[in-house]
């Protein structure tokens, strides 16, 4: 999987007539503030912009109907992702729109998988091979204070695929490379055909 780095986040609430922006340092960024200052909302907004749905969003944050944008970098190339009322967009460094969709599963997932070289393929309950949603790519990088302590490898909602924890642990630890998952998915597909 290619390295992805968040560079900047922009949040806008037209309901509240407020906006927020924050730049992330190239090394590490530490968020320090008391309870209720929005640290969790900021982190959840980062991942939500890429289609990884947080388990819990505070009611006040939900009512704000925030529009989010994240400047990010993958393998040295700059991009911007946006989420506006259930529509996801990705722009290249020149501002050219390269994706616009309302479908996380059918369009955003394959796009993010290609961009990140995230080749994990999984089989759903109907034994269909599919590219998992972006939440699966981000799972080890987000520890949700509301859910991750009780259910490891499930920091987001919608992580519905069977054997998710084992597959994610093997993939993200590097025990099994991209080629393994591509070959296994093909084997599973052929077994279903037989």
Mean pLDDT, range 97-113, rounded to an integer: 95
Mean pLDDT, range 77-98, rounded to an integer: 96
In the chain, domain spans: 4-193
Instruction: Return the pLDDT at 148.
Output: 64
Name which residue leads in pLDDT, 59 or 24. 24
pLDDT tens string 27-69: 888 888 888 777 777 888 899 999 998 877 666 666 667 889 9
Position 89 pLDDT exceeds 90: yes
| Backbone phi, psi, residue 29, to 5° | -120, 130
Whether CATH 3.30.360.10 fits 4-193: no
> Which residue, chain included where needed, has tokens 């780095």?
5
51: left (phi over 0), alpha (psi -120 to 50) or beta: left
For the chain, how big is the Rg over CA atoms in Å? 17
State percent of the chain over pLDDT 90: 36
Sign of the C-alpha dihedral computed for residues 2, 51, 22 and 89 taken in this order = positive
Position 5 pLDDT exceeds 90: yes
Instruction: Return the pLDDT at 100.
Output: 97
> Which residue, chain included where needed, has tokens 């090394």?
27
C-alpha 1/C-alpha 138 separation (Å) is 11
Mean pLDDT, range 109-114, rounded to an integer: 95
């Amino acid at each position: 999987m290619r390295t992805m780095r968040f560079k900047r986040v922009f949040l806008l609430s037209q309901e509240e007539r407020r906006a927020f922006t924050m730049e992330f340092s190239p090394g590490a960024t530490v968020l320090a503030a008391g309870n209720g200052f929005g640290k969790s909302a900021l982190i959840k907004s980062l991942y939500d912009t890429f289609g990884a749905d947080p388990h819990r969003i505070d009611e006040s944050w939900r009512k704000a109907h925030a529009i989010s944008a994240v400047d990010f970098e993958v393998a040295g190339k700059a991009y911007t992702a946006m989420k506006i009322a259930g529509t996801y967009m990705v722009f290249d460094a020149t501002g050219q729109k390269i994706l616009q969709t309302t479908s996380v599963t059918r369009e955003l997932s394959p796009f993010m998988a290609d961009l990140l070289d995230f080749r994990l393929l999984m089989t759903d309950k109907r034994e269909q091979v599919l590219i998992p949603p972006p939440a699966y790519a981000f799972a080890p990088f987000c520890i949700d204070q509301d859910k991750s302590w009780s259910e490891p490898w499930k920091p987001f909602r919608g992580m519905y695929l069977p054997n998710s924890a084992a597959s994610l642990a093997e993939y993200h630890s590097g025990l099994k490379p991209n080629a393994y998952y591509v070959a296994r998915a093909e084997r599973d597909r052929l077994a279903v055909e037989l």
